[in-house]
Amino acid sequence: MDDDFEPDYHGGFGRPCHVEARIPAPPPPPAFGARPSMAHYRRALRHFVEHPDRAGVLTHLRELTIQGLKAGSLSTRDVLFEVRPAAVAVSVLAEREVAAAGPVLAAVIRAAVADHPSRWAYLVDQVDFWPGSLASLLTGRRDIGVVGYLSVPPSRPRAWIGHLWRPANILLALAPAEGARRFFTEATGRTAVWRAGSAERMAGYMPLSRALVEYTLSPRGSRRARANLAGNAFAPDAVLALLLERPGEAEIAMAVREHDFAGGAVRRQAYLAVRDRPDAVRKSLAKLLEHGQKQFLDLLAAAPEDDAVWMHSLIKLAGDWLQPQTRRTAYGRLAAVSEPEVVWSLALAYAGSIEALAPEVRASMVEGSAAPLAAAVRDGPFWDLNAGVNAAAAEMRREEVLDRPLPWLH
């Protein structure tokens, strides 16, 4: 019998069975230690050339370059002339910790563009596809003929993983107002179509800049670009509010409901769109509460005090996704705007029995008062396990950041 033939005992006859060969996972890229040099960089490049299907190639090279700059084992000259592809060199400009090298590289880019605004558009176009060094990109002359030349295609699928910073966004953020404007307005024909597609992708990545946001919100921006912007973790609340004003684009409201860091008020506006659709609310809460316990409480706090029904619905639909301390705080908020009986019935429906109720809920029932619920919140206030991340995100999401997205490069 053929090796690819498996008997079908249920049907009484043989049927072909196509067995897929197991492809071994590629080995991990070589470690680069605390002081990586260009020798480490070339070794990593060679690994990714030999294993073209591995994800995260540019992210790994970016991390190596940042570590080398921080340790002083890589120089600004290395990044400008030796690091390939150019996308990696540009990507390190988004890292505050390379403060010594970042402004120098930014100054070199600005000097190369000089007084030619259209040149910025060219750089934004090319950076995600240019295989050569940053210096070769700035001069427009490929350095493939250099002895020992080695690079990888920067447009390879899943070349970036784990972060939102992208080279095209960085260059657009570096460009003066006229240079950024030219990227969106001066192209015609295929180039215009290409740049419109680029703008769609860029709306979902970092850094966001005023020119990119205004283009996306303008009549020239596409529906997909607006959805990408709505889902961008660092889009300011003011931008999300403008996006929600657009009729007939349900994907925007869904993105804001599930947004990583949106404020309570703007998130509430997105939930109002599905207030009468419990399944949609539950689905969005499940996604939000994967990481957003504080964000849920912000949403609850944004509800008007005369809308206890909505607060009740949110807590009920959140179900098991609420952590105990989140649920305690939510019960306290609901008790503050309604009768304690509302909390008792909600808590009992969730717990299943009086014995399983939280102590503060049982105490409230015994006393016939909301005081134990308020005391529990006062004595055990909500502790945000993601406070550092949320604070950093709040800083990056300020609307004025759109005007100076990379202040450490000025």
> Which amino acid is it at 84?
R
| Tokens 């009768």 -> residue | 339
Domain that holds residue 38: 18-186
pLDDT 10s digits, 317-349: 999 999 999 999 999 999 999 999 999 999 999
Cα–Cα distance between 6 and 268 in angstroms, integer? Answer: 57
Beta carbons within 10 angstroms of residue 81's beta carbon: 17
Backbone angles phi, psi at 8, to 5 degrees: -100, 100
- In the chain, the number of structural domains is 1
Tell me if 316 is assigned to some domain. no
Tell me if 194 is assigned to some domain. no
Tell me if 371 is assigned to some domain. no
Residues 393-397, mean pLDDT to the nearest whole number: 96
Residues 388-394, mean pLDDT to the nearest whole number: 96
Give the pLDDT of residue 23: 67
Tell me if 99 is assigned to some domain. yes
Contact 193, 142 (CB under 8 A): no
Tell me if 26 is assigned to some domain. yes
pLDDT 10s digits, 37-67: 999 999 999 999 999 989 999 999 999 999 9
Beta carbons within 10 angstroms of residue 126's beta carbon: 17
Tell me if 24 is assigned to some domain. yes
Tell me if 133 is assigned to some domain. yes
pLDDT 10s digits, 183-222: 999 888 999 999 999 999 999 999 999 999 999 999 999 9
Tell me if 160 is assigned to some domain. yes
3-state secondary structure of 5: strand
